[in-house]
Structure 1
Amino acid sequence: MYVERIVSGMRPTGALHLGHYHGVLKNWVKLQHEYPCLFFVADWHALTTNYDSPQIIEDSVWDMVIDWLAAGVDPSQASIFIQSKVPEHAELHLLLSMMTPLGWLERVPTYKDQQEKLSHKDLSTYGFLGYPLLMSADILIYRAKYVPVGEDQIPHIEFSRELVRRFNHLYGREPGFAEKAQEAVKKLGSKKAKLYEELRTRYQQEGDAAAIGQAQALLDEVQHLSNVDRERLFGYLEGTGKMILQEPEALLTEASKMPGLDGGKMSKSYGNTITLREDEESVRNKIKKMPTDPQRVRRTDPGDPEKCPVWQLHQVYSGSEVKEWVQKGCKSAGIGCLECKQPVIDGILKEQAPMRERAQMYLDDPQLVRNIVADGNEKARKLAQETMRDVREAIGLGYN
């Protein structure tokens, strides 16, 4: 039942740029070959900060999916879907909101940070306060094992883990749970049952964290257990109740090393981006117009690459030989700034070429994208409905 599944999403708020590729999409492409992956368009999340201008969301959804496909996300390896097409996200969000302490939401670090950064927007809404809860619902509805995040998002994963513990504690206590769990232990067979009990004791009495991992691995080996018994044994192991929701783990991803055209972080709000499928001539012009070391006023003036935004792009796109050429040529005024920029232009265009090629098929036939997403919606919804059936039953809403 508990598959090592990955869930990740992105808000459709405009064209994706190379910072998105290096910070998120490149990692998705790698992960899709290692785990079952679900990647979703977080259109409801986009409404938390763009509720007054939803047109940008509608305009961005399909273009963003094409960008994902262009970057190498493979619909035969990963499910691509739209959040709002799986209404179970909203139902789980609502049910979790009934048991989530208000203080938990107010203490999420990004709540105050975002309010300060986006002070020009009205963020005094429940949607904004509750977005970490919706984010948790997005993860928990698929019983995801891993969520790829940057360091700044780790508090969101910890928030989700706390929610799971609270939910399982409140609603996992079915009548006669201990007796039913003991009956399930017997089904393991005498040898495995004895080992399970030893590991359970080590974890509960001695706090041995390794024991819980070993016990979970033991349960994963047993093929003949029903899902219900498996859930009971997971819960009995930890001393809670039946494990209805699974605690996710953060899969830490490296921060994007993609600098913007001004040397700062590449961001649409800073106006320093190159989009994933930007026209070649536009890329050339943007790089040629990039600022350089302010000390190099004339071609004959020596410069310092460390003080030049172009040097940061060389870190991403150039090999050791080119970087050595830049260092020597810049410091001795042996090369001009336009010469220095050419390898960066070549590197970016080379990276973008396969993206443009992959995207063309979907631009020529937009129905292909619609079909991929419709298929992903269906797969995601099936998984979400299974979770919600168990959640409703645990809460006492399973009546017909």
Structure 2
Amino acid sequence: SFVEFSLPHVHGLPPGVESTSEVPIDKVPYLKRAYDKLRDPLTDFLKNSNVNWIIHDFAPYWLPGIAAPLGVNLVFFSIFNASTFAFLGPPSALLCDRRKRPEDFTVVPEWIDYPCNNIAFKLHEMVNHQQCMDDDVSDFQRMGRLIQGCQFVTMRTCFEFERDAIKLLIKLYQKPLVPVGLLPPLLSLPSNEDNKWEAIKSWLDSEGEKSVLYIALGSEVNLSEESMHQLAFGIEKSNLPFIWVVRNRPVGEGQMNDIIPPGFEKRVSNRGLVLRDWAPQLRILAHSSVGGFLTHCGWSSIIEALKYGRALILFSGASSDQGLNARLLHGKKVGLEIERNEVDGSFTSDLVAATIRRVMVEPEGEVFRANAWAMREIFGNEDLSNNYLNEFTRFIEEFSTSACHY
């Protein structure tokens, strides 16, 4: 049974807000401070419970201090992949704040012991991400304390895709890392409420196999009007059929600002669909008419795309792990990153169009299309995913303190 903990209110956090998708990036630190106020109620709960294990994310840096005296085991679980954590490094590097300036994160760290195709942040990505950092306790300090204090680590990855990064992390952490697998989502059966999908499916059915580009930038990426216009003009110049999921920007109480260029939808109406706010992404990616995905490089979206072998046009959302994911997938040649100014993240519509066409239709893009299609054997393999889940379960069931010396 579930036990509810209400998120405490802190000054600066709008009432009722409980997730990063509900606030601008510069308000995210207030969410972390609110989360930290759960320490006392959680401690009281644990003292009177028979909880043996807590599976937690990067935020509750205070958890080892209350779990250890009570004999509660901890599992650090990240929805990020192993390459991201390999870049971040061992707890000692996370805790010492040796990398203080945004520029420090734009180079491959010295502990990477395998060819990684220059997986590092661009300057504009790190400058943007620092807006969501809490000045009191950085994300890196939170991760460092929790990796040190947990019994073992698990991540949404697998050896078949990231063997080198996983092996390095086991060495850096000096404790077990048990991948939980890629956890590819299952495609549910249509329901009676799927009228929106029926219209989309009808449109997709009329298009050729692997001809359609799908564009979605997640629920938390907010581009400037200029960037949205350049992206739109690039999509238009590509001359390919497309589906674009657009989130309107809030500009005031109850008001939304449509930042699609005026006249864009009319000009592309014969070959494109613009969907507002939400779309059945997994269903769209599963359709045989979709050939490519222009993505903000969130790990969940990448997993969904590669489950169906869709080639990637990589456009980092400039937050969290997205830039590192873009470099990782670019290096593995399952997609191509749109070239951008490293300082301010700006780009041109011509580069957008050229990258789309190269990945989707041009002969030199065949390597991306073939490699992405082959990834179905890993990302779409339900038996493989279930095996990792079973191994994770077994590890918890058979765990003893001696496992710490794994």
- Give the TM-score of the pair, scaled to structure 1: 0.23
Higher helix fraction (1 or 2) = 1
Higher strand fraction (1 or 2) = 2
- Give the TM-score of the pair, scaled to structure 2: 0.23
Name the larger-Rg structure: 1
Pick 1 or 2: higher relative contact order, CA cutoff 8 A, min separation 6.
1
